[in-house]
């Protein structure tokens, strides 16, 4: 087998890269170890930046997103018994977010690739990368796929990043002393926009996936077991952390899924080695507080598509050589924003009265100063390309 771009991973990064390359006449093959059903059902991120929405629309895969996605023009910061809205439409005119589940983006991209005759191989075991600084190729299941370049889009635990020889990459990371217990519930959202709540009991997030399905998160200890959280306990704790302003009542209902997500920050430098280019979670992880993971993946593959297109059209490797440096500018900005949102809203050491006072002081500043609120809004909706 031979192709121009071998893509490892059929998540949003790999699928979108394959589709964007197809639109430019560049062939690719996508290899994925999981089943199609798993990829299309795995619930992950749900907040799309303005730039991500624009890319999906420009790529011709945004029809269902425009029909079913939920545009939001603000978020609420809830603390100290009051809610404070950050109005995107006032602070960043013309830019907003869209709530549309990552699994829905994956469904749209798979359908588009298959409709165009794209090659996506699911349930592919034993993927390995070879000769990354020469003539790269991928082996799997007794097969060999030769390619001009390889795109590692297979996530934090994938095979792409470990294929780079030890010492060639530098890792920057931070683990947080808590995790998120997340649930998906068949219940109408109790608010029209996302609510980020800081309380002495810990952080809580009220989100949504559709007019009938809501998404919630609770700050829990890093080693928490989901078995310790029966449905009644989850709803009781969500009420305690969200029903802190007059007149707000949290709707409850059937819980469809629940799971515990560790919180970490991670960056690989550089994001390339030889003819291997890392994108998305294979290169960087952010805590989900800033809603940047999926959006960074889209930004990465947008840059990589432009670089590959330039190389195939002109023979120049200028943009490919600059891929890592170009992506890392946005990556580190998103890392800082995600770290800042996380430290601003979560409960850390219960004895750290000084730290809690600092959090409250900065929340007061963000919710009373247009300058500070604009900084939050600009980063949240996504910096321009």
What phi, psi does 271 have (nearest 5°)? -95, 20
**Residue 273 appears among annotated catalytic residues:** no
Q: Which of 79, 100, 137, 380 is catalytic?
A: 380
CB crowding 108-123: b at 16 or more within 10 Å, else e: bbbebbeeeebbbbbe
- Quick one: DSSP state of residue 247? T
Note if 292 is an active site residue. Answer: yes
Q: Are 186 and 213 in contact (CB under 8 A)?
A: yes
Element (H, E) at 281: none
**By the 8 A CB rule, do 161 and 308 touch?**
no
Q: 239 catalytic, yes or no?
A: no
Would strands 82-87 and 74-79 be described as parallel, antiparallel, or unpaired? antiparallel
* Alpha carbon distance 138, 276 (integer Å): 11
| Catalytic residue from among 33, 73, 292, 346 | 292
Q: Classify the C-alpha dihedral 45-47-51-55 as positive or negative.
A: positive
What CA–CA distance (Å, rounded) separates 201 from 203? 7
**Catalytic-role residue among 72, 73, 206, 346:** 72
- Out of 196, 217, 273, 277, pick the active-site residue: 196
Contact status, residue 10 vs residue 120, Cβ threshold 8 Å: yes
Contact call for residues 69 and 47 (beta carbons, < 8 A) = no
If we measure between CA atoms, which residue out of 224, 205, 225 comes closest to residue 216?
205
Query: Which token pair is 215?
Result: 């998404």
In whole angstroms, give the CA distance from residue 239 to residue 248.
Answer: 10
Q: Which residues are catalytic?
A: 72, 196, 288, 292, 380
């Amino acid at each position: 087998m031979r192709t121009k771009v071998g893509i490892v991973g059929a998540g949003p990064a790999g699928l979108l890269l394959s589709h964007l390359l197809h639109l430019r006449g560049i062939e690719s093959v996508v290899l994925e170890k999981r089943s199609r059903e798993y990829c299309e059902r795995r619930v992950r991120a749900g907040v799309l930046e303005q730039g991500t929405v624009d890319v999906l629309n420009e790529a011709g895969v945004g029809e269902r997103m425009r029909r079913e996605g939920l545009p939001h023009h603000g978020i609420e910061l809830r603390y100290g018994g009051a809610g404070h809205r950050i109005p995107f439409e006032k602070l960043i005119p013309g830019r907003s977010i869209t709530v549309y589940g990552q699994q829905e983006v994956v469904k749209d991209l798979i359908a588009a690739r298959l409709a165009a005759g794209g090659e996506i191989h699911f349930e592919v075991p034993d993927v390995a990368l070879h000769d990354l600084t020469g003539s790269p190729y991928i082996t799997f299941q007794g097969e060999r796929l030769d390619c001009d370049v390889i795109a590692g889009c297979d996530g934090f635990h994938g095979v792409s990043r470990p294929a780079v020889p030890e010492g060639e990459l530098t890792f920057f990371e931070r683990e947080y002393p808590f995790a998120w217990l997340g649930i998906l519930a068949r219940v109408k959202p109790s608010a029209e926009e996302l609510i980020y709540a800081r309380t002495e009991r810990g952080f809580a997030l009220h989100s949504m996936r559709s007019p009938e399905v809501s998404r919630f998160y609770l700050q829990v200890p890093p080693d928490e077991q989901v078995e310790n959280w029966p449905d009644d306990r989850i709803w009781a704790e969500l009420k305690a952390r969200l029903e802190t302003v007059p007149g707000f009542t949290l709707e409850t209902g059937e819980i469809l899924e629940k799971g515990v997500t560790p919180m970490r920050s991670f960056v690989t430098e550089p994001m390339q080695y030889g003819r291997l280019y890392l994108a998305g979670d294979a290169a960087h992880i952010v805590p989900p507080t800033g809603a940047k993971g999926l959006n960074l993946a889209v930004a990465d593959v947008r840059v990589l598509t432009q670089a590959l297109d330039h190389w195939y059209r002109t023979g120049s490797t200028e943009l490919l050589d600059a891929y890592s440096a170009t992506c890392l500018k946005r990556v580190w900005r998103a890392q800082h924003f995600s770290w800042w949102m996380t430290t601003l809203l979560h409960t850390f050491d219960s004895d750290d009265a000084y730290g809690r006072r600092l959090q409250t002081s900065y929340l007061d500043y963000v919710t009373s100063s247009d300058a500070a609120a604009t900084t939050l809004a600009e980063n949240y909706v996504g910096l321009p390309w």
